[in-house]
Amino acid sequence: MLKLCHSGLSTCSKQVRHCLKEKGVAYESNYIELWRYENLNPQYLKLNPNGVVPTLVHDGVPIINAFAINEYIDDAFAGPPLKPDDPKDRARMRHWTFMGDDVHQAIINLTYTANLKSLVDALSEEDKQTMIDHTPMPERRARWVRMSGEGYGEADINAALGKVSYTVAWLEKELANTGWLAGPRFSLADIYLLSNVHRIRELYPDQVDMVAFPRVNEWRDKLMARPAAKEAYAPGTDETPPRPAGKSVDGIFAETI
């Protein structure tokens, strides 16, 4: 009835897993292995034409885009409310999701450079082209073209880090108000930004330095201590058993999910 198509490492998948676990909603896990390009499988593209994770499928209806999914979960299921009551706080919650999406673009470039470039370099030229041809979103296709060639250079990395600094500094200021991002209690805004801060801390810990950003660190620690976050962020969360390696990208497209 409720199926989540997601990937363990993906920041956006963590947001939805975290939300489902905060609400106490059970779901079937359908693990989409990004490093094997299962997100570009024609069967999956029918559910999510952008070819990204996550996708929630409820009663056969696909719901896409992590924040839209989380609002849907909060609206459709019982459990603790995860949206603020006050409309001004709701607007703030949505503002933070836009901030989260913005910084996520920078984080993708940092993640690709740190974690993915060597995997792309290992693909055959044919597989690289298959990837490019099958990536539906123009900006993602451009990223694959870039990653198949020289990748991101110093200027790109500095630009991405500039966006990260801007966002973290604003978070530090915002958290002076209530200790949460949108009003007097924990909300979907906290879930959304946590995954981005978590990734920044993994890749560039200096960007969220304890001394310069004490509130961001305190907020992150208190969120990560929540049982739902512990489950959602645990390595290998909800993964289906590993599939055999060594197939070409085209071979993977032929499989159903």
Ligand X SMILES: N[C@@H](CCC(=O)N[C@@H](CS)C(=O)NCC(=O)O)C(=O)O
Residue ranges binding ligand X (CB under 6 A): 10-12, 34, 39, 50, 52-53, 64-66, 101, 140
Nearer to ligand X, 19 or 223 (CB): 19
Minimum gap (Å) between residue 111 Cβ and ligand X: 8
Nearer to ligand X, 11 or 130 (CB): 11
Minimum gap (Å) between residue 186 Cβ and ligand X: 20
Nearer to ligand X, 203 or 212 (CB): 203
Nearer to ligand X, 10 or 167 (CB): 10
CA–CA distance, 197 with 213 (Å, rounded to integer): 12
Nearer to ligand X, 39 or 187 (CB): 39
Minimum gap (Å) between residue 225 Cβ and ligand X: 23
Minimum gap (Å) between residue 12 Cβ and ligand X: 4
**b/e sequence 79-112, b meaning 16+ C-beta within 10 Å:** eeebbbeeeebbebbbebbebbeebbebbbbbbb
Other Cβ atoms closer than 10 A to 214: 12
Other Cβ atoms closer than 10 A to 11: 21
Minimum gap (Å) between residue 213 Cβ and ligand X: 23
Helix (H) or strand (E) run with residue 78 in it: none
**What's the order of all strands across the beta sheet hosting 2-6?**
28-31, 2-6, 55-58, 61-64
